[in-house]
Structure 1
């Protein structure tokens, strides 16, 4: 069984409204040196019964987990 992590983030140049909100909130709390905040998602799952878990996870990202028009992803398999 493989432990898979899919890290999904908006591509550079795509406006990250959540990231801007987080950045503004941090500034409001006194952390004025924060810039370029980006918010993403992490999806963790166990994957069993496949020969190449990384390839299967990539297929999952391409078909469902990531909107590849505006998001990029990185797969980790342990």
Structure 2
């Protein structure tokens, strides 16, 4: 059994309005030293399986087909045995 921790964020070339709003709010709250904000999505999946390579391929497929818009977003994931 494996746990996949998946992080999805906008590509650097895509404007992220939520991150910009957070950065603006932080500046207004006197946090002048905040240079950049990255806003994203986080998922945890628990998958049955004994073959790590097969589970890794499955997580890649899930991310490509459902969790990330590959035209606008990037993703990365950590896979750990549980």
> TM-score category by the smaller chain?
over 0.9
Offset of 1:50 from its aligned partner?
6.0
Aligned to 1:43, the other structure's residue is in SS state strand
Tell me the TM-score normalized by structure 1.
Answer: 0.92
Per mean C-alpha deviation after superposition, the further-off stretch among 61-70 and 32-41 is: 32-41
| Greater than 3 Å deviation, 4+ residue runs | none
Alignment partner, residue 69 of structure 1: 71
Paired position in structure 2 for 1:22: 22
Is the aligned partner of 1:10 residue 2:26?
no
Task: Look up the SS of the partner of 2:59 in the other structure.
Answer: helix
Whole-angstrom distance in 1 between the partners of 2:31 and 2:50: 45
Structure 1 residue runs of 5 or longer lacking an equivalent are: none
Structure 2, unaligned stretches of length 5 or more?
Answer: none
SS at match of 1:73: strand
Q: Is the 8 A contact 1:50 1:56 kept in 2?
A: no
User: How many residues align structurally?
Assistant: 78
